[in-house]
Copies of this chain bind each other. A is one copy, B any other.
């Protein structure tokens, strides 16, 4: 089951990808070309990024194709001749892809993905690849920051209502999980990706009963051991008193009130007061869950102050990466049969040549990376780009999502400590450029 069907995915492209393709096709310009996808620079609020989105990218590359509907629409534009439309009918991606694994820490200028394919194919896939990789990398990176702030406490993706459409809600759940979220409220993401799902209750549930305590009792009865009661519909402390009553009733029957949720007000003060009330009633196992406009900074402030909060729900700030809602990801031609290529636009120049990235680690900490030409002798360190697709087919099975999440955790833990700080700017992570690339730049790689 897919959210975006392959025939829709083919059409989800900038018009210029098709006009350029038609132009190449018309003059039989279709020799091998290599494009690389990378992030130009870090948003001011980020010290590192964590790669994500590769799985969707590979799904797309393996499956996109044009339907007759799509071709019929293209023929109405007056831009494409029958020969080109006939070519698109059988158009498939047949190229090779090297990529960083999902969950790997990544820095500006480092290729996340390298596509080598006949020019028309390699160019055409630009729009979709940028769309799916940059958003997911952004959300995984944000989740990693939230995970750092949580210091081992759980957090849950609560973003579906704030994400930018349905596909974003799915991708946000998966990317958040990779970055360290423990669960999502998104049921479809649970179904498609096997991510644990969790949730509490809405204010409207409480308001649908004559008295708050009725709502609490019924919900606790319906979901024994799993109910988290929302306290602030009318007044958080009065709500906590009702929760205590319900918690004691459950305890008398040998059951546990799983948790209570704070969703407004002074979370620090309220969490202390509610914790004291729960503890005084012997409800030490009942957790306090907090939600409502949270981000890594607020979570850190609450935990630093000692607020007794056990878990967090994060919505808007996670799913929209609201403090850095876009990454400057680009997809650039770096080599073709005439040799390495280089764009020289003011402030937007690119590094020429087909590349590899090497990461040097000392004592479990990343020390520096080197961006080098793939053809240069191997540099010191672990090569980060691996072959993931040959001839349009995956080279192997996809890693399990849990393994990707573990990789992200290791990767973030291996960053120099100052980069894991939540406030910036910091001394950037050292990323060197190899002698081979520098020689190409100075030698004037075309143009």
Partner of A320, one of B20, B74, B164: B164
Q: Which residues of the other chain, B, contact A169 by a CB distance below 8 angstroms?
A: 12, 131
Q: Which residues of the other chain, B, contact A202 by a CB distance below 8 angstroms?
A: 16-17, 20, 123, 126
A165 to chain B, nearest CB (A): 3
Q: What is the 8 Å Cβ interface bit string for chain A, positions 2-16, against chain B (1 contact, 0 not)?
A: 011000110111111
Q: Which residues of the other chain, B, contact A236 by a CB distance below 8 angstroms?
A: 345-346
The main secondary structure of chain A at its interface with chain B is mixed
Q: Which residues of the other chain, B, contact A4 by a CB distance below 8 angstroms?
A: 3, 166-167
How far apart sit A216 and B426, CA to CA, in the bound complex (Å)?
Answer: 43
How far apart sit A161 and B69, CA to CA, in the bound complex (Å)?
Answer: 23
- Do B14 and A158 touch (CB < 8 A)? yes
How far apart sit A198 and B203, CA to CA, in the bound complex (Å)?
Answer: 46
List residues of A (176-210) whose CB comes within 8 Å of B's CBs: 185-188, 190-191, 197-205, 207-208, 210
A443 to chain B, nearest CB (A): 16
Q: What is the 8 Å Cβ interface bit string for chain A, positions 335-364, against chain B (1 contact, 0 not)?
A: 010100111111110000000000000000
- Asked if A234 lies at the interface with its beta carbon under 8 angstroms from chain B, I say yes
- Asked if A251 lies at the interface with its beta carbon under 8 angstroms from chain B, I say no
- Do A12 and B185 touch (CB < 8 A)? no
List residues of A (227-269) whose CB comes within 8 Å of B's CBs: 232-236, 263-265
- Do B135 and A222 touch (CB < 8 A)? no
How far apart sit A12 and B3, CA to CA, in the bound complex (Å)?
Answer: 10
- Do A223 and B79 touch (CB < 8 A)? yes
Q: What is the 8 Å Cβ interface bit string for chain A, positions 312-330, against chain B (1 contact, 0 not)?
A: 0000100011100110010
- Asked if A127 lies at the interface with its beta carbon under 8 angstroms from chain B, I say yes
Q: Which residues of the other chain, B, contact A164 by a CB distance below 8 angstroms?
A: 135, 163-165, 167-168, 171-172, 320, 325
How many copies the complex holds: the figure is 2
Q: Which residues of the other chain, B, contact A119 by a CB distance below 8 angstroms?
A: 208
How far apart sit A190 and B14, CA to CA, in the bound complex (Å)?
Answer: 10
A270 to chain B, nearest CB (A): 9
- Do A197 and B166 touch (CB < 8 A)? no
- Asked if A306 lies at the interface with its beta carbon under 8 angstroms from chain B, I say no
A1 to chain B, nearest CB (A): 7
Q: Which residues of the other chain, B, contact A188 by a CB distance below 8 angstroms?
A: 8, 11-13
- Do B210 and A163 touch (CB < 8 A)? no
Contacts beyond the supplied A126-B202, A164-B164, A165-B171: 12 A-B pairs with Cβ under 8 Å: A11-B187, A12-B160, A14-B161, A14-B199, A15-B187, A73-B190, A135-B165, A164-B167, A164-B172, A233-B344, A264-B345, A265-B345
A binding-site residues for B, Cβ under 8 Å: 1, 3-4, 8-9, 11-20, 22-24, 26-27, 29, 33, 35, 69-70, 73-74, 77, 79, 119, 123, 126-128, 130-132, 134-135, 158, 160-172, 185-188, 190-191, 197-205, 207-208, 210, 212, 218-219, 222-223, 226, 232-236, 263-265, 316, 320-322, 325-326, 329, 332-333, 336, 338, 341-348, 446-447
21 contacts between A and B (CB under 8 A): A3-B167, A8-B166, A12-B188, A13-B187, A14-B199, A20-B202, A20-B204, A74-B187, A126-B204, A131-B161, A131-B163, A164-B167, A164-B172, A165-B170, A203-B332, A232-B345, A233-B343, A233-B447, A234-B343, A263-B348, A320-B325
